[in-house]
Structure 1
Amino acid sequence: MKVEKAIIKNFMPFYKEVPVDLQTNSDSPLILMGAKNDRGKTAFFTAMRFCLYGFEGGNTLKSEKRRQAINRKAAVEGLDEASVTLEFSHNQNIYEIERVIEFDQVDDPDDRNWKSCHVTVKKPSVSEGKEIVINQAPNEDPAKKYNRFINGILPESASDFFFFDGEELDRYAGSYNDSEADVRTAIETVLGIREIQNAIQDLRDEGKDYYQDEWKDKAEDVEELQDLSEDISSVQSDIEAKKTEKDSAQTELRQKEKRRHQIGDELAEASGVATKQDRVNEIAEEIGDSAQDDSLKGKLDEKRGARRELHSRLGPLMIGIGAKHGVENYDVSIVSGMEDTIEYLLDRDDCLCGADIDEDAEETLENTLEKLRKDEMSTISELQGFASDHLECLTSGDYPENLNVSQAKSEYVSIQEDIEGLAEDINDLEDEKETLEEEIEEATVTAEEAESLQETKETLDEEIGGLKNTIETLDEDLEELEEKKRKLEQTVNSMEAADEEEQRYRTLMKLSDECADAWEKIRDRYVETQRESVEKHASNIFQELTNKNDVYEGLTISKDYKLDVKTISGNRDIEEQNPSKGARQIIAYSFIAGLNKFTAREAPVIIDTPIGRLDPEHKQNLIEYFPNFRDQVVILYQPGELDEEDIKQMGDNISSHLEIHQRENDPESSEVSSIESETDLKRVLAK
């Protein structure tokens, strides 16, 4: 199966007809399709699966999905139908599958609803145009006819290994409790082992039942056989009902476990936020304020107070030394008083004694004042020299014997160092607090949301526990019913044959069982052979993709279908090794690559969000491997997953590079177009 073209019409954000050319050649198997969030990347992925298989789920869920798939604008305009058409080649034939959802016009797009849904399969006519080979419309071909057709190409049970979301692959890498069952189902489905199993089941049930029916017609005690047959049919109906109930419970269990896993990741992030908030509170308490004696700010203020006290002690101490020396050696106050008196007399006409101050007396006073000032300057200079000597004294520690300046100096130096250390600690803590507060602000999960998530997780835990109990009970019921059926069949088989014809049918019933036994042995041998082949190829791919070749030596798939990693110290359970999410994604990619190598299915690989959580080295390794996946690989990526260097690296392997973008002047609708220029490319790649 190789898809040539898709036409999406009024489906999700795609308004009216949106054609998408998906042709590739053997040298260029890649198609890149970029889109920003909410532009239709996942909608395109959904459209591909919808066209082939319709929507999954029970009737209620299917109905809601069909309703939501109708384009809102098309519903208001009354465009009648939403559809997805795939044109593809398979076994040298060209087919066209079209799946349609019909709807009526509404005034409010929220009121839109579907009225019918059907699928048709066409192929080129011998004459002109196309002829319908399957029409699953009401009163036309039954669903069984289409199911046989699509199962011959790519069964829905195998489609998960060709159409997948890169971020959800870790189900094959130990993230879920039923991962071993998933691995077994993957191998059996993709490699065609399920067909062998179905043949065995047909031999045991339908084939045997047919011969049993023929035999019953020949049996002597028809009435008793009829009662036994009805009992067996009733038990078989009960078995089928229990299996259906179990399948539904297992599907619901996987969904809830997946949601619980997602919530666990979100709670882990919220836990980190809470830890950071606790640290912020701890820092705030540690810094405190001046009123808290045991806080850093309180201690800082205490040290500053001690320093002020030393200032008050050292200041008067130095002044006292200088003053003592001045009093002992200079009559400064007398000199200062004489200057004031002469300046006073020079402003007067007569002396204090009453005599006139003539020019001679005034000249004498001025000369005396000048001499006093010269003497005063000399005194000041001497005092400055003295002060300098005392500063040197303080610096050298050579103090007068009766002064304890050395102790005061040491105490001052110690206090100053404490002040500087406390100030630096406070500054560092405030920087740390600011950084943590910014990280808390940027967190995607708040404390309130975390509380709600925790409640949801607890509810899910209870529901998961209930589902597991339900499944366990159903298994017990099935075991009892199978045993009851076996005993009834033994009773039927033990009845005496009426004639030779009856014996012949009895032999054929036995032969059906023996053939089924033989096929089971063939299946087991084939499974083992294919398991080893898948393991070897997946292991080689894993070594190409991993960024830890010094740790990992490959993958192993055990006989009980357990997927383990092979390390330098031996095989280890994935959960025991506990690789990162990105590493789990690489393990799953390797496993799927191994399956694709040996599958008999021919189908494109369509990957949504291929890079996801991968680190740069894993990313580059995967980009190098993409062209080897299949003959046609469609990669749906979002901004940030790929850059210009990645596009250049894929180079000639790219057949076309497309963009899903907003329709011009219509923000609610999307369309698909080719990326033709560097400007287009930069726009698509921009985060």
Structure 2
Amino acid sequence: MIIDEIALCNFGVYKNPQRIILSYASKNDHRSITLIGGNNGSGKTTLLDAVLLALYGKTSYSFLQSGCSYTSYVENYVHRGAISEDKSWVRLVIRVPIKGELVRLAITREWEKKGSRVGERLRITRNGVEDEFLAESWQYYVEDILPSGLAKLFFFNGETIIALAEDETGEAIREAIFSVFGVDTIDRIVLNMGRIIRKNEKRLQKDREYSDEVGELRRELRALVQRLNMLRQGLAQVEAKVAQLESKSKLVEMSLVRKGLTVDENRGAAIVKKENYLQIIETVRQQLIDLAGGALPLVMVKPLLERAFAQMEEERKARSAASALPVISQNYRELLEILEEIKIDNEDRKKLHEVLYKHQRAVSAQAETETVLGVSDRCYYQTESLLSAKLEGVVFEAKQASLKFEEIKRKLEQIDQHLLVEIDKSQFIDEVEEYKKLQEEIGGLKEKRERLREEIGQLSRKVAELERKIQTQMQQYLERNSQESDAARIVEYASRTVQVMKRFRARLIEEKVASLAAGVEAAFMQLLHKERLVEEISIDPDTLRVVLTDGLGREVPKSRLSAGEKQMLAVAILWGLAKSSGKIIPVIIDTPLSRLDYSHRENLIKYYLPYASHQVVILSTDSEIDGNYRTMLGNRVGREYLLKFDDSSRCTTVVEGYFNSQLRGDIYDSKTNKAVQSG
């Protein structure tokens, strides 16, 4: 996508028609950056919101985050100086590829106040010709160009970077990843399928035994899901508290190091850690014992189970064929009688006889399959469940527990080595005691975090098992009553769809997060461009938590990053997500440097802004991109504009040029909207 033009009239501080040209006539012009300067209150954020409103209207994320009604939101942007018969409007002219060629679309949203209401009209021209059908279906069409859920990856402000940098729970990153990979769409499909299932299940309540049993299972499932959500909220709070205390602990540790204490003085904390680790290792040992007493030994005979299941399937097919054979035979006899009455060629009649006989013999042969096991449907479904997921889950749980056992064992050995060291800590007693208390509190919180994670894992498995049980009950019921109603078939296929979408969701996340992590890591290293604490970035496919690792393979808490490094990480995440989306979209950034220190500002200007996209629009104050930073951008900058606010008229006029033009004393011509150098 290429943005050719942004135009506004009677919108925000822009009273009269204002026009900003962003593209170039020549296809070979590689100046990717448009620089738009403006002091606070001159209309930079209004310009960004105008672009979002033009594209999305009521689904614009800037409106959805406002918390007010759409009418109130639009009314706030109608220029106070506009007379009642004047219309307010914004226009965005873009070029998008359609069937191999660039098509020019002009999207215009007009607002007209009618009493207490504001009427809106959307007009769209395609290559200069108005297209009413496209305007009517624009809400769906624009989602193909750039889904509204992804817009904040390309059109954002400095506060977006700050919010992402300071997010300790990871919820903002998780939502962004869901939007980029379409996981939110999958979740909506699953949610809608769930509604369809519940709606049609009401039509299947005649079977009271089934209704009571499944109803009880669903009540149990709701209780588990409610408990699971509470635990996840608690985990997020604990993780935020751990990050806060680790940051405080790091400051105390650095103070001790500066005073010459280079030996691990926190003996008390080490003892506490050892006790905690001993408890954890005992818990893990018991977990392994429980697994060994459950389904785990069946892994050793999995090939036998698979062969038995294959035999079960053949016998089920044989039973189905035996049930269907009388009906098929009767239908074929009737069909053959009809064929005898129809005057067709003898050769053709013979071929039809052969085809029908061959098919009937195939069904008959299948029905004659020898019954070896003769198991019930319940046994069949239990075996299927065991082979499809349960055994793999048990093996995975056993591997994880074994790895954890070895890890804790290794940590215990390290602590024992540290406890052999004797030191004099009397001169650091106050700070050592503070550090000890912090470490004890952190240790307790981490232990609580591990318990929560373990409980969440167990509950998640219970929820999955209960969902599978409900689906199995549904399928068994539907097999007995498949002819009862359309509702039964709807529930059957909707249930299958839910299971397929869940498997697809898990596989999609697993395949995508590795490439996303690599992109974020490359962007982060490019932005820092110096010796750094972090050497590797990965993303946990289960929790979607961003994990930072140092050169020794140890996890680096986000709290150890400086404020500037956190913001660079946030930019890297936005950059990596934008690339992973596969969308070639311009980037518009409002006040990107307002909270950055000098070194990180310089890195952002050198290593991000020129490469963020094929077309970049920067909305900047004079304190962000000044003469020196403007020089760094060099010939990457093509067009420059200044949002010139007039205090007397309370209006903004768009003029060509930048703050440096004003510093030279240049004036601007109101007729041409161009800066003219004085003298």
Bin of the TM-score, shorter chain as denominator length:
0.5 to 0.7
Taking a change above 3 Å as real, the CA distance of residues 66 and 483 of structure 1, as seen in their structure-2 partners, is farther
1:160 is matched with which residue: 152, 156, 159?
152
Question: What's the Cα RMSD here?
Answer: 4.4
CA distance in 1, matches of 2:658, 2:164: 38
Corresponding residue of 1:183? 173
Task: Name the structure 2 match of 1:38.
Answer: 41
AA in 1 matched with 2:524: F
One-letter code of the match for 2:125? K
Q: 1:496 to 1:2 in 2, by over 3 A?
A: closer
**Aligned mates of 2:112, 2:468 — CA distance in 1:** 48
- Asked if structure 1 preserves the Cα contact closer than 8 Å seen for 2:622 and 2:659, the reply is no
Residues in 2 aligned to 1:14 and 1:159: alpha-carbon distance in whole angstroms: 24
Tell me the distance in 2 between the aligned counterparts of 1:640 and 1:513.
58
Residue deviations 1:610-635 (CA, integer Å, cap 9, x gap): 11222222222211221211111111
Deviations 1:570-622 (A, max 9, x none): 44454431422x22211111111111222123322111111122222222221
Q: Distance in 2 between matches of 1:40 and 1:676?
A: 15
Classify 1:554/1:495 alpha carbon distance in 2 versus 1 (closer, same or farther; 3 Å).
Answer: closer
**Counterpart for residue 658 of structure 1:** 641
Please, which moves more after superposition, 11-20 or 24-33? 24-33
1:82 aligns with 2:88: yes
Match of residue 18 from structure 1:
18
Q: Is the 8 A contact 2:87 2:110 kept in 1?
A: yes
Match for residue 604 of structure 2 among 622, 629, 645: 622
Aligned-pair CA distance for 1:177: 4.7
Quick one: which amino acid aligns to residue 656 of structure 1? R
Deviations 1:70-115 (A, max 9, x none): 11111xx3343222111112223322222222226xxxxxxxx862
Whole-Å separation in 1 of the counterparts to 2:106 and 2:133? 10
Distance (Å, rounded) in 2 between the aligned partners of 1:571 and 1:148? 46
Displacement of 1:494 in angstroms is 6.7
SS in 1 for 2:16: strand
Contact 2:54 2:91 in 1 (8 A): yes
Q: Secondary structure at the match of 1:80?
A: coil
Q: Which residue of 2 aligns with 1:98?
A: 108
Among residues 483, 486, 505, which one is paired with 1:523 in the alignment? 505
2:576 corresponds to 1:594: yes
Q: What is the match of residue 627 of structure 2?
A: 644
State the match for 1:512 in structure 2.
494
Match of 1:69 in 2: 77
Q: CA deviation at 1:669?
A: 0.2
Shift of 1:117: 3.7
Whether the 8 Å CA contact 1:191–1:600 is kept in 2: the answer is no
Q: Is the 8 A contact 2:475 2:492 kept in 1?
A: no
1:108-147 correspondence runs (5 A): 115-124=117-126, 129-135=129-135, 145-147=137-139
Provide the TM-score with structure 1 as the length reference.
0.52
Q: 1:16 is paired with a residue of what secondary structure? A: coil
Letter aligned with residue 640 of structure 2: H
2-side partners of 1:536 and 1:498: how far apart?
A: 51
Task: Sort the Cα spacing of 1:487 and 1:681 in 2 relative to 1 into closer, same or farther, 3 A.
Answer: farther
Q: What is the identity, as a one-letter code, of the residue corresponding to 1:195?
A: T
Aligned match of 2:654: 672
**Deviation at 1:27?**
1.7
Q: What percentage of residue pairs aligned between the two structures are identical? A: 21
Cα shift readout 1:387-435 (whole Å, capped 9, x = no counterpart): xxxxxxxxxxxxxxxxxxxxxxxxxxxxxxxxxxxxxxxxxxxxxxxxx
Q: Deviations over 1:520-561 (max 9, x none)?
A: 223222212221111112111111212652433243323322
Q: 5+ residue gaps in structure 1?
A: 105-112, 136-140, 262-480
Change (3 A) 1:114 1:518: same
Structure 1 residues 63 and 152: alpha-carbon distance in aligned structure 2, compared to 1, 3 A threshold: same
What corresponds to 1:285 in structure 2? none
Give, as a single letter, the amino acid of the residue that structure 2 aligns with 1:86. L
The offset of 1:656, in angstroms, is: 0.9
Q: How big is each residue's C-alpha offset from its partner over 1:347-393, in whole Å with a ceiling of 9 and x where there is no partner?
A: xxxxxxxxxxxxxxxxxxxxxxxxxxxxxxxxxxxxxxxxxxxxxxx
Kindly indicate whether the alpha-carbon contact (under 8 Å) linking 1:190 and 1:601 is maintained by their aligned counterparts in 2: no
Q: What is aligned with 1:149?
A: 141
Deviations 1:248-294 (A, max 9, x none): xx9xx99xx9xxx9xxxxxxxxxxxxxxxxxxxxxxxxxxxxxxxxx
Q: In 2, distance between residues paired with 1:683 and 1:584?
A: 39
CA contact (8 A) 2:642 2:658 kept: no
Q: Which amino acid aligns with 2:17?
A: E
Aligned position for 2:30: 27
Between the aligned partners of 1:58 and 1:654, the Cα distance in structure 2 is: 33
Alignment of 1:229-378 (within 5 A): none
Q: Retained in 2: the 8 A contact 1:220–1:497?
A: no
Aligned mates of 2:584, 2:121 — CA distance in 1: 22
3-state SS of 2:31 partner:
coil
> Residue in 2 aligned with 1:324?
none
The residue type paired with residue 85 of structure 1 is R
Give 1:488 shift. Answer: 10
8 Å CA contact 1:540, 1:554 repeated in 2: no
Q: Which segments of 5 or more consecutive residues in structure 2 lack a partner in the other structure?
A: 58-62, 245-462, 667-679
Instruction: Using the TM superposition, name which of 488-497 and 507-516 deviates more.
Output: 488-497
Structure 1 distance, partners of 2:517, 2:576, is 7
| Residues 129-160 of structure 1: CA deviation (Å, up to 9, x unaligned) | 3222355xxxxx5xxx4432232222222211
Distance 1:573 1:653, change over 3 A: same
Q: Match of 1:617, SS? A: helix
Deviation at 1:203, TM superposition (A): 4.7
CA distance in 2, matches of 1:202, 1:7: 39
Q: Does 1:53 align with 2:35?
A: no
User: C-alpha separation between the residues in 2 aligned to 1:683 and 1:188?
Assistant: 50
485 and 571 in structure 1: CA distance in 2 versus 1, 3 angstrom threshold: closer
* C-alpha contact 1:661 1:672 (8 A) present in aligned 2: yes
Total equivalences in the alignment: 417
CA distance in 2, matches of 1:622, 1:83: 34
Deviation of 1:500 (Å):
5.9
Post-superposition offset of 1:497 = 7.2
In the alignment, the residues of structure 2 paired with residue 203 and residue 220 of structure 1 have an alpha-carbon distance, to the nearest angstrom, of 19
Task: Encode CA deviations 1:38-92: one digit per residue, 9 max, x unaligned.
Answer: 2111221222222223322587444433222111111xx3343222111112223
- Which residue matches 2:312? none
State the distance in 2 between where 1:199 and 1:681 align. Answer: 56
8 A contact 2:641–2:656 mirrored in 1: yes
Distance 1:65 1:676, change over 3 A: closer
- Structure with max Cα Rg: 1
Q: CA contact under 8 A between 1:553 and 1:568: conserved in structure 2?
A: yes
Q: 1:166, 1:608 within 8 Å by CA — same for their partners in 2? A: yes
Aligned pairs for 1:206-217 within 5 A: 206=196, 212=200
Separation in 1, partners of 2:653, 2:173: 37
Give the 3-state SS of the residue equivalent to 1:15 in structure 2: coil
Q: Which residue of 1 aligns with 2:537?
A: 555
Which whole-Å CA distance do the structure 2 matches of 1:565 and 1:498 have between them?
54
Cα distance, 1:514–1:615 mapped onto 2, change above 3 Å: same
For residue 455 of structure 1, what is the aligned residue in structure 2? none
- Please give the alpha-carbon distance, in whole angstroms, between the structure 2 residues aligned to 1:497 and 1:73: 70
**Contact between 2:478 and 2:492, CA under 8 Å: does it hold in 1?**
no
Q: Which amino acid aligns with 1:176?
A: D
Q: Secondary structure at the match of 1:89?
A: strand
Alpha carbons of structure 1 residues 529 and 637: separation in structure 2 relative to 1, 3 Å? same
Residue 422 (structure 2) aligns with:
none
Q: Distance in 2 between matches of 1:2 and 1:547?
A: 30
Q: Residue in 2 aligned with 1:544? A: 526
